[in-house]
Structure 1
Amino acid sequence: MATHKSTSLTVDDYEFPRGAKGLATVVGAALFVLSTRRQFIEPRSVIHDHILARSITAATYSKTVQDVIFYWFLGVHGAGTAHFAYTKLQQYNVKLTSMAWFQWILTVFLGGSAAVKHFDDFVEKKEVKAVKDI
């Protein structure tokens, strides 16, 4: 794994995570979407009718839990994404205006640490390829 403070390697492309890291990104995106809309926990929704309607306690606290999930996700993933942008993306010379920058930022925001690990693996593959090409 790359541990340098600066590098001559430039990341100008993007690769969506695969396997467990891709699944974590998709689950994170789904959780974020579910936490943003009240309609997912209101009566006549699948979540309400099959899960929340069975417990008065669950129905009572569902809005609070949804809010906590949303704000936790927004805060933790937002801070992690900002840290990723200012450290890793700058370290590997990803241009702020490039499509790759936007794709990596969105993937890290939705996927969290799994997406950051994927970026590290992606960079390591590029470094190995660059060394082999020399």
Structure 2
Amino acid sequence: MASNGNKDFIIKHMNADHQDSLVLYLQAYCHVSAGDAKSARLEDISLSDLVILADGVRYSVPFDPPMKSFSDTRSRVVAMYKDSLQRLGLSEFAIKEYRAPQGFQIVIFVTCLATYIGFVQRSNFLPGSIIYESLELEKVPAFTQFCYDIQPLLFPAMVGIHVLESGLLAFLRLRPHRVPLFSGLWFAWMTSTFIEGFGAFQRIKGMVKEEETKRENRK
């Protein structure tokens, strides 16, 4: 058996450095929602289970099979962490920051944003509108007429495509990489995707690749 000192060390270490693991254990093994599990704190540990408190409720997460000694704790909690990720369909890499467009992606972002602003209403291409007058569109009548003609098709199509891309990002990237739903970070990525589209996918892919490279270099 472990001394109380060893148990205290394990509890303090898990709460200080691996609180995210405790949250995942509750979600995977006790079917606790992400919102209810986010305050998870390890209260006690025995050879047979972890006792975790979250949102005022105490949960028992069993070791299956029970440990033979507390020296097995590290390998067990690591294995449970990986198993929890697999059960929940999550990635080991959690996205904790928003990365803005870089390089040519800035051009795409600005172009898409300008398109939203310009094509939000058809009257922008008629004399008297702010956009028509400030851009002096009377000097390019053919282009202005073309924009006026395609606005009813272009704007809804662009919104529809980017809404679809935003939904795919939320489901295929933000959720697996553990970005909390409706958090500030979630809204940053979703807003960016709604404006620019595919560029956000590329940046997240690059972030994951960077993390994988770092882990390989640490081995």
TM over 0.5: yes
Q: Is the 8 Å Cα contact of residues 25 and 115 (structure 1) preserved in structure 2?
A: no
Matched, 1:112 2:201: no
* Bigger CA radius of gyration: 2
Q: Is the 8 Å Cα contact of residues 40 and 48 (structure 1) preserved in structure 2?
A: no
Q: Which residue of 2 aligns with 1:65?
A: 150
Q: Which residue of 1 aligns with 2:124?
A: 40
Task: Name the structure, 1 or 2, with higher relative contact order (CA <8 Å, separation 6+).
Answer: 1
- Tell me the CA shift for residue 72 of structure 1: 0.7
Whole-angstrom CA distance in 2 between matches of 1:79 and 1:49: 35
Secondary structure of the residue aligned to 2:119 is: helix
Q: Is the 8 Å Cα contact of residues 96 and 179 (structure 2) preserved in structure 1?
A: yes
Secondary structure of the residue aligned to 1:91 is: coil
Whole-angstrom CA distance in 2 between matches of 1:105 and 1:28: 15
Moved segments of 4+, more than 6 Å: none
11 and 40 in structure 1: CA distance in 2 versus 1, 3 angstrom threshold: same
Whole-angstrom CA distance in 2 between matches of 1:133 and 1:101: 29
Whole-angstrom CA distance in 2 between matches of 1:119 and 1:47: 39
Q: Is the 8 Å Cα contact of residues 41 and 48 (structure 1) preserved in structure 2?
A: yes
Cα RMSD (Å) = 2.4
- Tell me the CA shift for residue 21 of structure 1: 1.4
How big is each residue's C-alpha offset from its partner over 1:36-92, in whole Å with a ceiling of 9 and x where there is no partner?
13443111412631222xx4x963x64341121110111111111111111111110
Whole-angstrom CA distance in 2 between matches of 1:91 and 1:27: 30
Instruction: Choose between structure 1 and 2: higher helix proportion.
Output: 1
Q: Which residue of 2 aligns with 1:127?
A: 212
Q: Which residue of 2 aligns with 1:19?
A: 103
Whole-angstrom CA distance in 1 between matches of 2:112 and 2:194: 9
Aligned residue among 169, 182, 188 for 1:103: 188
Counterpart residue type for residue 20 of structure 1: F
Whole-angstrom CA distance in 1 between matches of 2:208 and 2:139: 44
Q: Which residue of 2 aligns with 1:91?
A: 176
Q: Which residue of 1 aligns with 2:138?
A: 49
Q: Is the 8 Å Cα contact of residues 41 and 47 (structure 1) preserved in structure 2?
A: no
Q: TM-score normalized by structure 1?
A: 0.80
Aligned residue among 142, 164, 172 for 1:79: 164
| Structure 1 gap segments, 5+ residues each | none
Q: TM-score normalized by structure 2?
A: 0.51
Counterpart residue type for residue 170 of structure 2: A
Whole-angstrom CA distance in 1 between matches of 2:124 and 2:136: 6
